[in-house]
Amino acid sequence: MKYVTFGPTGLTVSQFCLGAWHVPGTGAKDRFGIEEVDKEAFAKVVKRAYDLGINFIDGANRYHGRMSTADLDHVGNTERILGQILKGYDRESLVIATKVRGPMAPWPNGQGLSRKHIMWQIRESLRRLEVDYVDLYQIHWEDPVTPKLETLRTLNNLIDRGFVRYIGESNHSAADAVEFMERARALDLEGFVSMQEPYNLLERQKEFETIPVAKKCGMAVMAYVPLAQGVLTGKYLGVTEKGSRATYEPGMAGQYLNTDVSSAVNTLKGIAGEKGCTIAQLALSWMIHKQEQLGITIVPILGITKLSHLEDNVGALDVKLSGDEMARLEEVAATAKMGKQSY
């Protein structure tokens, strides 16, 4: 495993992060008609990731594991399952990240980035995860109602009290991220060490939006959907596999599944064959090499439903790309015209 320094900190994390947004399912439905998480299979994924050297795990208080957007009957599910799984590991060997912002209860203060909601949800996340602190606490998306200073001071209070080691942001505009960081600097408060954004070979708009902010502020970038929700594995070139994201993510087809994207992925498949690797390894290797070009730390978040996928993804560390090959991949990917973002 390769390890990188996480943004403007001394924290060392694995080049890959294991994500808890999409995890293995059993195929069976709960009383609400939602597929249940396969806890045993997920535990095996966590163990294999750990054995391969992945020390970084990312989740959120809202994640269920088999739903793109969890409702109030299913929020907190993956935090509870991770709490059970991680009891078998040395806590200090892990870097655990989670998030706060989304609806967790039906009452007026059941969501948001207010002091009240954050103070409530950090306690709930720690209880579900069965830990005393989280390493990285991220604000999941923007809250236009709560003053940024209130959010920032509350997050700093959590650091002072030992509930949180570092703070980060996810899905915020460049302007919002800059405002948060400028306020932190002016008031000598802890600022964000990372941003979490959708980023992959097919979706590079963040290079022109928020990633320049990350570079300016020294923040790490946690890249979610690094394989475009499985599209960059080639799995959707044929019959859609049962249990894959496209079967329960309603917006995915409109975003990715069209002839332009399929044509680009077919070409990438040919390039991968020339390199003696899989398409997924090619796409992840591109992202790892992109760190050098952009001058920032990029940590792809892997959503794993099968052990074989994990083994394949980590193999990207052995795929080397020249500058010409990087340019060729980007030229091919630029031909893929996608629909509206589905997450």
The pLDDT of residue 242: 57
| Band of residue 247 on the pLDDT scale cut at 50, 70, 90 | low
For the cut 90, the answer to whether the pLDDT of residue 244 exceeds it is no
Across 235-257, average pLDDT: 67
For the cut 70, the answer to whether the pLDDT of residue 163 exceeds it is yes
* Pair 338, 255: CB distance under 8 Å: yes
For the cut 70, the answer to whether the pLDDT of residue 249 exceeds it is no
- Pairing between strand 25-29 and 3-5? unpaired
Q: What is the CATH number of domain 3-228+283-319?
A: 3.20.20.100
- Report the mean per-residue pLDDT for the chain: 95
Which residues face 240 on adjacent strands?
Answer: none
For the cut 90, the answer to whether the pLDDT of residue 135 exceeds it is yes
Length of the chain: 343
For the cut 90, the answer to whether the pLDDT of residue 257 exceeds it is no
Across 180-184, average pLDDT: 98
Q: Give percent above pLDDT 70 in the chain.
A: 96
The pLDDT of residue 15: 98
Q: Give percent above pLDDT 90 in the chain.
A: 91
- Give the other-Cβ count within 10 Å of 180's Cβ: 24
| Band of residue 53 on the pLDDT scale cut at 50, 70, 90 | very high
The pLDDT of residue 241: 58
For the cut 90, the answer to whether the pLDDT of residue 248 exceeds it is no
**63 catalytic per annotation:** yes
The pLDDT of residue 250: 66
| Band of residue 341 on the pLDDT scale cut at 50, 70, 90 | confident
The pLDDT of residue 225: 96
Annotated domain spans of the chain: 3-228+283-319
Three-class secondary structure assignment of 30-42:
CCCCCEEECHHHH
pLDDT (tens digit, 9 = 90+) per residue, 93-106?
999 999 999 999 99
| Band of residue 122 on the pLDDT scale cut at 50, 70, 90 | very high
Q: Which range is least confidently modeled, 53-67, 221-235, 251-265?
A: 251-265
Across 198-216, average pLDDT: 97
* Pair 217, 210: CB distance under 8 Å: no
What tokens were used for 123?
């306690």
The pLDDT of residue 64: 98
The pLDDT of residue 246: 54
| Band of residue 11 on the pLDDT scale cut at 50, 70, 90 | very high
Of 3, 50, 63, 224, the catalytic one is 63
One-letter amino acid at 82 equals L
Task: Give me the helix-helix angle, 307-314 and 279-294, nearest 10°.
Answer: 40
Across 280-303, average pLDDT: 97
| Band of residue 289 on the pLDDT scale cut at 50, 70, 90 | very high
- Give the other-Cβ count within 10 Å of 318's Cβ: 9
The pLDDT of residue 340: 80
List of residues 6+ apart from 191 with CB closer than 8 A: 167, 180, 181, 184, 185, 217
For the cut 90, the answer to whether the pLDDT of residue 40 exceeds it is yes
